[in-house]
Amino acid sequence: MKNIEHNYITLFEQSIKANWEKEALTDYGGATIRYQDLAVKIEKLHILLECAGVQPGDKVALFNKNCSNWAVAFYGIITYGAVAVPILHEFKDEQARNIVKHSEAKVLFTSQKIELDDAEKKVSVIELDTFSPRTHHNSSLDNAAANINALFGKRFPKEFTKDDIHYFEADANDLAMINYTSGSTGKSKGVMIPFRAIWSNVQYVIDMIGDIISPRGTVLSMLPMAHMYGLTFELLSEMVLGMHVYFLTRVPSPTIILKAMSDVRPTFIVCVPLIIEKMVRKMIMPKLEDRRIKTLLRLPVISKKVRDSICKRMKEAFGGRYYEVIIGGAAFSHDVEMLLHKIGFNYTVGYGATECAPLVCYADWKEFKPGSCGKAIARMEVRIDSPDPENTVGEILCRGDNVMLGYFNNEEETRKTIDTDGWYHTGDLGVMDKDGFLYIRGRSKNMLLGPSGQNIYPEEIEDKLNAMQIIAESVVIQKDARLYGLVYPDPDEVKNTGLTPETLAETIEQVRRELNADLPAYEQLAGIKIMKEEFEKTPKKSIKRYLYFDETV
């Protein structure tokens, strides 16, 4: 017997019916569609998929930037019973083609230019902008697209109502989607996400903060929908809560984000560290360097008023209506976090992985411990593979409803990652305090060994480097048992301080000496190389550090 209660489609169908008249999706600065409009579009996509020869369980790929039609296509796919294969829009054509081929997709929704080779041309390509076929191998799809309104009218001869909605009844353990990781450490893998994992993540949001964020609820979607972090917390959760999702269809620069935040006034904000770090460094840190502010911060009573004033400005910049800002997806600067904590900003840091769709740990901002990333959420267990989890770093292991089924067509990698007891080996390193709060110490694949076998976590050194005003981002690498820093200077700081290439090199050398003075001998940097361009990153803004291991220093 199918378990249809613990799968996401059940929640979504209930929400469509309950929020029929409400606004659902908007391309920021563009048109809006209501939940009932979304329902109609989904039914029309079902007709197209049927005419394309797609059966429940078949794979359907989706390769595009965030937009309302992306959401329409995604929901059309999973409510039909097909398996969604989101492809990050930042992937190159060759990567996208490889995923289409590896996933065995029958249909590809995209508005991006992608040329399939002869072996791939059996895949029907449907334009995401218009939902019209671009290339196909059966005439019925072309006919269906040209006559979609007539076919819809024939299927629903009377007025289409919420009572006409009967989506695919998936079992909780059925495959919902294959999410190909961008991977900051190497080649992408196809993570098989079951409906129970999506349901468990979304149900947790509902239980924890649903009543707080859903009334007149809005969210500004800035993260790529093809990544589980953005998909789960900027679309899937909001849709079952009857919220209104605005897609930021432009490059998310601080200026554009602040304008959009002011217009949308979100009740819930999700972001990666890079975004909030840029805002803090531009909005708050320069003010704290003011001599008058520094003096006021030394006076106890006035100090609190100053911090409250700074916090109020920060909140207003984010629209002034949000409950909390959830930060995740990459390492968060200790320097910036401590500042946010000091001014009383409503933030929390979570921990997750694509393989867990994605949430593993979280804590509400009111109970969150700075420096941590929360504690195990409902239906998940977390432990540290260490004889002394509080004091000795070990690999983070987790198991529960959120964990994937495995990697698509890769049993060997699945066996390496999920052990016989069901524990998912994350590859991340950390410790856990007596209250169950998790503290990340780095990636096991990133860990370096010192000259006497000491464990070196490059992320900790990078965090110190990035705290320097002149440095925007950095990577620490190892050459012949010596450590070197690769740094990309903050272009605004370089310009504002009038540094020439020569004086910049002198300043960076001074940074190295100051840093080494605070580090044990085995962690000190033998040199620093100044990079001319930003480091290449994954869509969740983690640096692809594996690209720089062989950098000449």
DSSP string, 323-390: S-EEE-SS---HHHHHHHHHHT--EEE-EE-GGGSSEEEE--TTTPPTTS--EE-TTEEEEEESSSTT
Which residues in 261-287 are b (16+ Cβ under 10 Å) and which e? beebebbbbbbbbbbbbbbbbeebeee
pLDDT in tens, the chain (553 residues): 567 678 899 999 999 999 999 999 999 999 999 999 999 999 999 999 999 999 999 999 999 999 999 999 999 999 999 999 999 887 778 888 889 989 999 999 999 988 877 656 689 999 999 999 987 677 789 889 999 999 999 999 989 999 999 999 999 999 999 999 754 444 568 999 999 999 999 999 999 999 999 989 999 999 889 989 999 999 999 999 999 999 998 877 778 888 999 999 999 999 888 788 888 877 777 776 677 766 766 667 667 888 888 889 889 989 999 999 999 877 788 888 988 998 899 999 999 999 999 999 999 999 999 999 999 999 999 999 999 999 999 999 999 999 999 999 999 999 999 999 999 999 999 999 999 999 998 877 787 877 666 778 888 899 889 988 899 999 999 988 789 999 999 998 899 889 999 999 999 999 999 999 888 788 899 999 999 999 998 776 788 888 898 898 8
Tokens of 339: 């500042």
Question: What topology does CATH give the domain 8-20+30-192?
Answer: Rossmann fold (3.40.50)
Q: Are 305 and 341 in contact (CB under 8 A)?
A: no
pTM attached to this predicted model: 0.85
Tokens of 544: 């692809």
Instruction: List where CATH 3.40.50.980 sits in the chain.
Output: 8-20+30-192
> CA distances (Å), 247 to each of 60, 129, 468, in order?
22, 15, 34
Instruction: List where CATH 3.30.300.30 sits in the chain.
Output: 448-548
Instruction: List where CATH 3.40.50.12780 sits in the chain.
Output: 269-321+324-443
Q: Tell me which of 3.90.340.10, 3.40.50.2000, 3.40.50.12780, 1.10.3470.10 is the CATH number of domain 269-321+324-443.
A: 3.40.50.12780
Domain 448-548: state its class: alpha beta
What are the φ/ψ torsions at residue 552 (nearest 5 degrees)? -75, 130
Q: Which of 61, 110, 54, 107 is nearest to 81 (CA)?
A: 54
